[in-house]
Amino acid sequence: MKPYAEMTKEELESELNELKESYKKYLGMDLSLDMSRGKPCREQLDLSMGMMDALNSTVDLSCEDGTDCRNYGLLTGIPEAKVLIGDMMENHPDNIIIYGNSSLNVMYDTVARAMTHGIMGHTPWCKLDEVKFLCPVPGYDRHFAITEYFGIKMIPVATDENGPDMDKVEELVSSDESIKGIWCVPKYANPTGVSYSDETVSRMARLKPAAADFRIFWDNAYGVHHLYDDKQDYIVEILAECKKAGNPDLVYKFASTSKITFPGSGIAAIATSLNNLEDITAQLKNQTIGHDKVNQLRHVRFFGDIHGMVEHMRKHADIIRPKFEAVEEIFEKNLTGYGIGEWTKPNGGYFISFDSLEGCAKEIVRLAKKAGVTMTGAGATWPYGKDPKDSNIRVAPTYPPIEDLKLAAELFCLCVKIASVKKLLENK
Amino acid sequence: MKPYAEMTKEELESELNELKESYKKYLGMDLSLDMSRGKPCREQLDLSMGMMDALNSTVDLSCEDGTDCRNYGLLTGIPEAKVLIGDMMENHPDNIIIYGNSSLNVMYDTVARAMTHGIMGHTPWCKLDEVKFLCPVPGYDRHFAITEYFGIKMIPVATDENGPDMDKVEELVSSDESIKGIWCVPKYANPTGVSYSDETVSRMARLKPAAADFRIFWDNAYGVHHLYDDKQDYIVEILAECKKAGNPDLVYKFASTSKITFPGSGIAAIATSLNNLEDITAQLKNQTIGHDKVNQLRHVRFFGDIHGMVEHMRKHADIIRPKFEAVEEIFEKNLTGYGIGEWTKPNGGYFISFDSLEGCAKEIVRLAKKAGVTMTGAGATWPYGKDPKDSNIRVAPTYPPIEDLKLAAELFCLCVKIASVKKLLENK
């Protein structure tokens, strides 16, 4: 085949006619497929049904320290959950608070607390004229939604295969006191699947922020979410690295079991320095008497320990790996050589990131939607939903059954082609 | 016996010597009893163990509308949980959002949202010079902790057997625009056990606040927590009353199952007008993808419907009623006629409220603590922990086993007597 960019106007028009014929067939199929969100599929959820038997009316619901998990108490979590989640997050149990079911909620609370009360004695952000966050792009729309909701100005920072552009991050963070945070998904990132290089993590830990209350919001959502046994990404543990760098309080690290057991019925956690924990606990004790300890116990009894969780994640991988591979194969078969798009091939996480020709992403998503396939909205991976190049699309392959997924991926490629040809024709 | 106030100095000194002898016996008993918090006892928790069997690995975890409760979705709760909790709260399911495990957290969030974003388009409270809340006293310390944490100025308002002093509430609310809220526990109040009279609720609903963003924080924590079948308090439903009064958006109503199933592993909810719900949901969608739907389903499957819950609450009553009665009996036996204290005899809820002679509460709690019985800190029932008369003590009879409770109540009476005699001697 010939790259579209090298085609004449006539060749493109002829190609477009053929593509439109193929597209019509999809229109007639009455599809209704959802590739928009990083949702586990039914088979993945079934993996955790055993957790529903981990507790029953005959078992003792006391945790290791003797606390009756059914009653009030243990604001920061039960000891054995701190061990399990600590092992998962690669942090000491003492550095951990176990929360409720949503790490997003923990991140929201962390920003909200900084807004109203400031961080470790510093001015509450709501009293400042301007607060800014760095947002590596493409990134996670729900992160951006939190900062947008609080009126925090978001500054996009480019990313590559090593993570965010650290020259830019260092320059901005060290020169602008109104920059208070950076959103990071350091491993199998949403949506690129990229894991930060050792150098990136090292430079993150060694930032010299102009703002004493600058924090890295380190959302390690996919820490144990490998797709392969033999191709796994490793990232340097950020708390230890920050400590080593003399910046022990620089980072808030977040994680949850939402994509390990059940989204919405998992347990979430923060890992951070003892200073930060003290600051957080001063709020937490006013906010709640405690989180759901029975669910913490349920998780611990189900997994036993981190080894049980690792085994469990292998089963997840076995279910979703073929889906990632199917999409990648279809992209390769349909799009290679046309010069109209690039995509990532992650070793883990929940997404493939697709970059189209400039100015095509919205049209691709529109065409797919019209034919019954819902993608994440174009632009969603950028702050304020505004992708300046209109080129990035997040592809979420986990939820649909594989046959549906293949159909959706084929259709997607067709939409990429149609949108690309139309875009190229504009300049002929 | 003779009222202490009528005793001579010599009589009081002789009485004090006798009392101290009795107190010494308690010191030798090495007690360690906790009457400080409204915690259910083990037998109460056992009532809900069946809930641990309500779900297991063989049952379908879809809710009525077909949503798989294990996955993301349904931000405001599953339909059948809204029906169950709606019935419990006496509100329409459409007026309800089901949250996570803690109604305190919902109240905290409600204040936090008003601080950072304001209520229904009004100025965020954090941008105002001063924000005030009315605090009916004695009241719930954790309410006061939330408003104190946010720097909201708290104004105590006296209560009697009908609820808050409504003349005062009306006067303050209608004249001061910086008064943005009032904390209410309208039924079996914490700590008095009082339920608001029809007139009180009616006047609450008809408040004419100077502030358009004034809200009643109606914490109906003990709505179904009766102690007796034949002596139950009823209160007028506040949402309906507000609507009738042309003030539909005036109230946020809170409740949870914390003292119905398991504290910390229950489900919490807010009931309010559709306008308020829209305002809340605009935040909620940024805060979380959803709460724990599996736990919502677990509750619904366990209770079936509101009748199941009512039956369940009868069993709670059977366990804790004898504890309330034992304390009341011991108070009556030991304290009647001395003129050194008054206490409430609630028909439901979790507390007995005790009022000592002025200036005695701290000393009573200190003496009890020294002998191994932990009471709620004196002053806790007042904003900033400052009871101007130093006389109110919250008594929480539910948690200790009944024999321990009786011992603790006897000791408490002794401490009341000692502190009272000492106080009276100061003026002789």
Q: Sorting pLDDT into bands at 50, 70 and 90, what band is A32?
A: very high
User: Best residue in A154, A292, A296 to probe B by mutation, most B CBs within 10 Å?
Assistant: A292
Using one digit for the tens of pLDDT, what is the confidence trace for B366-385?
A: 999 999 999 999 999 999 99
Distance from CA of A414 to the nearest CA of B (A): 30
Chain B residues near residue A81 by CB distance under 8 angstroms = none
What ipTM score was computed for the predicted complex, to two decimals? 0.97
Contact A270, A252 (CB under 8 A): yes
Q: Which CATH architecture has domain A4-44+310-426?
A: Alpha-Beta Complex (3.90)
| Residue B379 to residue A40: CA distance in whole angstroms | 51
The predicted structure's pLDDT at residue A428: 85
Q: Which CATH architecture has domain A63-304?
A: 3-Layer(aba) Sandwich (3.40)
Topology given in CATH for the domain delimited by B61-304: Aspartate Aminotransferase; domain 2 (3.40.640)
Q: Which of A40, A104, A264 sits opposite B292 (nearest CB)?
A: A264
Domain edges within chain B: 4-44+310-426, 61-304
The pLDDT of residue A131: 98
Residue B68's pLDDT band, with cuts at 50, 70 and 90, is: very high
Average pLDDT for B321-336? 98
Say yes or no to pLDDT of A316 above 90. yes
Q: List, for residues A370-400, the tens digit of each pLDDT value.
A: 999 999 999 999 999 999 999 999 999 999 9
Average of per-residue pLDDT values in chain B: 97
Q: Cα dihedral sign for A189, A190, A191, A193?
A: positive
CB neighbourhood size of A332 (10 A): 13
**Across the interface, do A69 and B105 touch by the CB < 8 Å criterion?**
no
Of B108, B126, B288, the CB nearest to A287: B108
- Banded pLDDT at A1 (limits 50, 70, 90): confident
Residues constituting chain A: 428
- Chain A hits for B288, CB-CB cut-off 8 Å, are 102, 104-105, 108
Write the pLDDT tens digit of every residue in A162-175: 999 999 999 999 99
Nearest CA in chain A to B67: A42
Instruction: Name every chain A residue with its beta carbon within 8 A of the beta carbon of B145.
Output: 285-286
Contacts of A50 in chain B (CB under 8 A): 57
Contacts of B76 in chain A (CB under 8 A): none
Which has the closest alpha carbon to A167: A204, A210, A211, A137? A204
Q: Which residue from B56, B108, B288 is facing A286, i.e. has the nearest CB? A: B108
Beta carbons of A104 and B70 less than 8 Å apart:
no
**CB contacts < 8 Å between A and B, how many?**
159
- For residue B262, the chain A residue with the least C-alpha distance is A70
B35-39, B155-159, B242-246, range with the lowest pLDDT: B35-39
Percent helix, strand and coil across chain B, each rounded to 5?
Answer: 45, 15, 40
Q: Residue B103: pLDDT band by 50, 70, 90 thresholds? A: very high
Q: Which helix (H) or strand (E) holds B183?
A: strand B179-184
pLDDT of B221 reads: 97
A262 vs B126: CB contact, 8 Å cut-off? no
C-beta atoms of A69 and B265 within 8 A? yes
State residue B1's pLDDT score.
73
User: Cα separation of A363 and B38, whole Å?
Assistant: 59
- The beta-carbon neighbor of A72 closest among B50, B145, B263 is B263
Q: Which of A58, A69, A99, A105 to mutate to test the interface with B (most CBs of B within 10 A)?
A: A105
Please check whether residue B187 is in contact with residue B195, taking contact to mean a CB–CB distance below 8 angstroms: yes
Is A295 in Cβ contact with B265 (below 8 Å)?
Answer: yes
> What is the structure's pLDDT at B427?
87
Tens-place pLDDT, residues A42-56: 999 999 999 999 999
Distance CA A388, CA B151 (A): 42
What single letter denotes the amino acid at residue B306?
I
Least CA distance to A146: which residue of chain B? B286
Length of chain B: 428
Q: Is the pLDDT of residue A427 over 90?
A: no
Which tens digit of pLDDT belongs to each residue from B376-424? Answer: 999 999 999 999 999 999 999 999 999 999 999 999 999 999 999 999 9
For residue B219, report the phi and psi dihedrals to the nearest 5 degrees. -90, 90
- Enumerate the residues of chain B whose CB falls inside 8 A of the CB of residue A116: 112, 115-116, 126, 150
Cβ-Cβ contacts under 8 Å, A108 against chain B: 286-288
Chain A residues touching residue B48 (CB < 8 angstroms): 70
Looking at residue A377, what DSSP letter applies? P
Amino acid letter for position A406:
K
Which residues does B57 contact at the CB level (< 8 Å), separation at least 6? A49, A50, A52, A53
Query: Which long-range CB contacts under 8 A does A60-69 form with residues at least 24 apart?
Result: A61/A294, A61/A297, A61/B52, A63/A293, A63/A296, A63/A297, A67/A293, A68/B42, A68/B45, A69/A293, A69/A294, A69/A296, A69/A297, A69/B264, A69/B265
Kindly state the average pLDDT of the residues B124-132. 97
Q: Alpha-carbon torsion B184, B188, B193, B199, what sign? A: positive
Contact criterion met (CB < 8 Å) for B146 and A37: no
Question: In this predicted structure, what is the pLDDT of residue B225?
Answer: 98
Min CA distance, A372 vs chain B (Å)? 20
